[in-house]
């Protein structure tokens, strides 16, 4: 395992982020390849069916991902403090919490799949495919939550490379199963869902085997698994706000998707294709953010307050610069990228997607600020401000869906993300400056004590 509490901050951040970024790219390839294979093999209607489920998938799976990321922050803090017993107890507590959440999420989401899609005014032409795909994805919630929990625990101990290896293996399996279920077994859109869930289950299994044989610090004994309600409460205080924050953001996406569905299949297909490219292009920003959470948590546990300040300043500069460059490239090369999904014979869809890129890609630098500061605060155990920032994202996306789409059509929908990022950053920046001031004061107190 690796510590982020010693050595050059920005070098450590970059070295931790590179495997994380590559892993996130492969994780995004799950949905990217689903959309590409479905769009090119089955057609635009099938692509729209997959796309229409995106906001609901994010609502449920995003909650699971956010919660497990929050749970691992306490594990990282214990590791930074050098307390092996606390690391194992944190891991065990996180497993109990994750199992309970996965069971509840699966039961509720599978039951409500069809009513929710109907409520969202999903076009009738794509409704059957959307229902089939989404139910399978929701049924696999435990696989998704299991992989995210285990990979986050491995990263909490400073290892971002091992989860990358498992993601690469799982992505290859996912692509192979996509072709098998869609082409060979003729399962249609449902085949893409089965392929994704199967790949996530394999990822989780590989992580568990690796932990059991290679990370003795995370090998649990019977006494570690004893249920401690105080520990559960402490973990829920960090994990649930991060999970709810993701769901709050997703609710805004659901409202936007409802209005987008009223614009027709072309608009849904364009938003789906552009959104998949958008997700890949913003992975560096989100990966630096995830690194910052682990970096801040470990250094907080080690009481290295000065290192936290230096690390976040350097990361902000690098993250903003990379994001601005990627945004420019996406705007320039957007058209051929969209054609990967549907081919060159859908000019109306391609034109709509290019509109999306002009509004979104030009603001990637703002998203980089959001990810870096939000994850810094979460890594330091602050959950209230990021949650409030999530409400601002919800409000902005809802405003775009209800007001801007009604008045400006697809261009209004394309404004939703930049507006959400802006609203969130407004909240986060003030908390960021207060936190930097507090860290400086704690660093000065340490210096005086040494003197």
Q: How far is CA 171 from the centre of its chain?
A: 17
How many Cα neighbours within 13 Å face the side chain of 371?
23
Q: Is 362 exposed, middle or buried (0-12, 13-18, 19+ CB in 10 A)?
A: middle
Mean local confidence (pLDDT), 319-323 = 97
Mean pLDDT of the chain: 88
Q: What is the pLDDT of residues 338-362, one digit of tens each?
A: 887 666 767 788 888 899 999 999 9
- Name the nearest CA neighbour of 167 among 72, 27, 271, 377: 27
Q: What is the pLDDT of residues 198-228, one digit of tens each?
A: 989 998 999 999 999 999 999 999 999 999 9
Q: What is the pLDDT of residues 394-423, one digit of tens each?
A: 889 889 888 998 899 899 989 999 999 999
Identify the H or E element spanning 17: helix 9-37
E strands within 93-135? none
How many Cα neighbours within 13 Å face the side chain of 353?
31
Residue 450 has pLDDT above 70, yes or no: no
Lowest mean pLDDT among 59-68, 70-79, 369-378: 59-68
Tell me what pLDDT residue 32 has.
Answer: 67
Tell me what pLDDT residue 309 has.
Answer: 94
**pTM (two decimals):** 0.80
Residue 260 has pLDDT above 90, yes or no: no
- Among 48-52, 152-156, 268-272, the range of highest mean pLDDT: 152-156
Mean local confidence (pLDDT), 31-53 = 73
What band does 188 get if pLDDT is binned at 50, 70 and 90?
Answer: confident
What band does 85 get if pLDDT is binned at 50, 70 and 90?
Answer: very high
Tell me what pLDDT residue 255 has.
Answer: 81
Rg, the chain, Cα only? 21
Residue 100 has pLDDT above 90, yes or no: yes
């Amino acid at each position: 395992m690796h510590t982020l509490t010693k050595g050059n901050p920005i070098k450590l951040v970059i070295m931790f982020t590179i495997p994380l970024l590559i892993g996130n790219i492969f994780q995004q390839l799950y949905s990217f390849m689903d959309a590409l294979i479905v769009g090119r093999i089955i057609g635009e209607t099938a692509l729209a069916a997959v796309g229409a489920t995106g906001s609901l998938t994010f609502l449920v799976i995003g909650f699971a991902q956010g919660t497990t990321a929050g749970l691992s922050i306490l594990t990282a803090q214990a590791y930074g403090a050098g307390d092996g017993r606390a690391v194992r107890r944190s891991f065990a507590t996180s497993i109990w919490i994750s199992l309970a959440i996965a069971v509840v999420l699966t039961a509720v989401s599978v039951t409500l799949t069809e009513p929710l899609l109907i409520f969202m005014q999903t076009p009738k032409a794509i409704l059957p495919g959307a229902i089939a795909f989404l139910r399978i994805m929701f049924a696999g919630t435990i696989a998704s939550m299991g992989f995210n929990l285990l990979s986050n625990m491995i990263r909490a101990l400073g290892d971002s490379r091992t989860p990358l290896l498992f993601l690469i293996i799982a992505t290859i399996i996912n692509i192979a199963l996509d072709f098998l279920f869609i082409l060979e077994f003729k399962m249609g859109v449902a085949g893409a869902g089965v392929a994704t869930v199967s790949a996530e289950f394999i990822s989780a299994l590989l992580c568990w085997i690796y932990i059991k044989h290679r990370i003795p610090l995370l090998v649990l004994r019977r006494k570690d698994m004893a249920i401690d309600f105080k520990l559960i409460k402490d973990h829920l205080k960090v994990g649930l706000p991060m999970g709810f924050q993701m769901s709050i953001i997703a609710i805004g996406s659901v409202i936007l998707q409802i209005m987008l569905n009223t614009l027709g299949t072309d608009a849904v297909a364009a938003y789906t294709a552009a959104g998949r490219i958008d997700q890949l292009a913003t992975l560096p920003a989100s990966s630096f953010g995830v690194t910052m959470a682990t970096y801040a948590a470990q250094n907080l546990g080690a009481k290295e307050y000065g290192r936290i300040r230096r690390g976040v300043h350097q990361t902000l500069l690098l993250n903003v610069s990379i994001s601005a460059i990627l945004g420019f490239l996406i705007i320039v090369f957007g058209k051929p990228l969209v054609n990967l999904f549907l081919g060159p014979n859908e000019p109306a869809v391609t034109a709509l997607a290019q509109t999306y890129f002009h509004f979104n890609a030009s603001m990637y630098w703002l998203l980089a600020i959001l990810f870096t500061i939000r994850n810094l605060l979460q890594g330091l155990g602050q959950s209230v401000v990021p949650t409030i920032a999530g409400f601002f994202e919800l409000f902005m996306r809802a405003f775009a869906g209800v007001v801007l789409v009604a008045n400006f059509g697809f261009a209004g929908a394309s404004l939703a993300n930049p507006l959400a990022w802006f609203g969130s950053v407004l909240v986060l920046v003030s908390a960021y400056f207060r936190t930097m001031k507090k860290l400086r004061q704690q660093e000065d107190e340490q210096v005086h004590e040494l003197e």
